[in-house]
A and B are shown apart, each in its own frame.
Chain A
Amino acid sequence: MTSPVIKYVGRTTNFKGKTLWEIVGSLKNLGVGRIIVRSVFERYPEPSFMKIVKVETCPDEERRRVRVWVEKTFRGRKLPNLTEIYRTSYKPDYKLVPKNEEAKLLASVTKEHNFPDVILPRTIEMPPLMKQFIVKDHEKKGLEIMKEYVMPLSYNHSPNRVHRIANPGEKPTVQFTMGLGKPVSPSLYEGVPLN
């Protein structure tokens, strides 16, 4: 008996692992209490993993999905609330942590995170053309003329955020500008004057 050879054809992905239902559906008690890892989050130096708390199966129309509540630890920091995974549960990117490695993973959380403390600014300076436009526009509408050409910045709210947004009056550690900024890889800009 030769086992049938399965050859997958198609584009490659960044994902690595199984869908959540493939993991959870084959475990005892639907894997409550087990630890799973999303391989996309493994790029960070700090441990990121999720402990399954509750599992709800889905109707037949959504057979690739499953509704799972997890205690999430992201970049070495445990989130205060439970996280529901439903929309992303179909992604073949989850891995189950074997029981003998769970203790090691949990132990690695205790140390402090090693990324620098970044405080994000609350405001950004306007682009040069917009400054002039705003002056003329306010004159036309009879509003008071601005003295500081700054705009408030808005950030997406996510429980995963590791950078803190500055409190009013606090000095941020990074500053966003309207220009090109400092390139990460200067080799791409060889022979280009950056000013």
Chain B
Amino acid sequence: MISQQSLLKRTWPMVVQCAEAHRKPRWVPVAKSKIYRIPKRPEVSEEERLELLRINNNYKTQMRAIRRFFHEEMIKEKSTKDSASSEMSLRLEAQEWERCVELNEKWNAQVALEREERRKQELIKMEEYALERMEAKDKELEERIKKASEQIRKQKEIAATFITPETLDAAIEHALANPVDYNFAIDLQGNQFLGRDTPIPQKNLDKKPPSV
């Protein structure tokens, strides 16, 4: 049985976990239940401590030397490169520049050719489009004129029947002479009987309604 004291004084937590996504964030303080859990101080024997100290010191010395060596080499290389660039690279740079200019001009010529072609195509397309639109406009106008002339013709035809001040008396007389009655009645069979005072024949009332 593990005693309470040894549990409290253990060096490591009870459950060793990996630093994964479900871990408590680093800035969250110690849980209330764990405040008084004081980890036991790791016991390192004197021999081991001295040996580890010696090994670590050795390692640090070696690594410092290696780091310094490569650092100095890097600086040396850089300085040689810089000094070499003053003479050699001037010529090299000029050559490179010329080469670049040549290449650029070649590209420009090629692009200019392509652009000319594209422009021509675009111009043709634009002309076509303009013509199409003009035609469409013409057609529409024509249609409108046709419609209007048709309407004028119709109106001229109708104009003969118009009531003018001269024919007003005659029209009134005509209207008085021929009164029109739009009232009508309807029976179950759907027969219409025009006029308000039209007598309705009685024979239909005697008959039985047709059985449906």
Residue pairs across A and B with CB atoms within 8 Å: the count is 53
Interface residues on A, range: 20 to 34
A10 to B64, CA, bound (A): 37
B116 at the interface (CB under 8 A from A): no
Contact B77 A184, beta carbon cutoff 8 Å = no
Which of the segments A18-26, A64-72, A73-81, A175-183 contacts the partner chain?
A175-183
- A154 interface neighbour in B41, B54, B68, Cβ under 8 Å: B68
CA–CA, A2 and B77, complex, Å: 76
* B53 shortest CB reach to chain A, Å: 8
A184 touches B68 (CB 8 A): no
Q: What residues of chain B lie closer than 8 Å to A195, measured between beta carbons?
A: none
Task: List CB contacts (< 8 Å) of A147-195 with chain B.
Answer: 151-154, 176, 178, 180-181, 183-185, 187-188
Write the residues of chain B forming the contact surface with A, with a CB cutoff of 8 angstroms.
Answer: 36, 38-39, 41, 47-48, 50-51, 54-55, 58, 61-62, 64-66, 68-69, 72, 77
Contact (Cβ within 8 A) A153 B51: no
Other A-B pairs, 4, CB within 8 Å; known A124-B62, A176-B58, A178-B62? A126-B66, A153-B64, A181-B58, A184-B54
Q: Select one of B51, B55, B66, B77 contacting A130, CB under 8 A.
A: B66
Q: For residue B55, which residues in chain A have a CB less than 8 angstroms away from its CB?
A: 180-181
Query: In the complex, how many angstroms separate the beta carbon of B46 from the nearest chain A beta carbon?
Result: 8
A9 sits at the interface (CB 8 A): yes
- Alpha-carbon distance A130/B62, docked complex (angstroms): 12
A11-B38, A152-B68 known; A183+B61 contact, CB < 8 A: no
Q: Is the CB of A11 within 8 A of B41?
A: yes
Inter-chain contacts of B48 with A (CB < 8 A): 185, 188
Q: Is the CB of B64 within 8 A of A9?
A: no
Known: A141-B77, A188-B47, A188-B48. A152 touches B69 (CB 8 A): yes
Would A9 and B36 count as touching, CB distance under 8 A?
A: yes
A to B CB contacts below 8 Å, 24 in the list: A9-B36, A9-B38, A11-B38, A12-B41, A124-B62, A151-B68, A152-B65, A152-B68, A153-B68, A176-B58, A176-B61, A176-B62, A178-B62, A180-B55, A181-B54, A181-B58, A183-B51, A183-B54, A184-B50, A184-B51, A185-B48, A187-B47, A188-B48, A188-B51
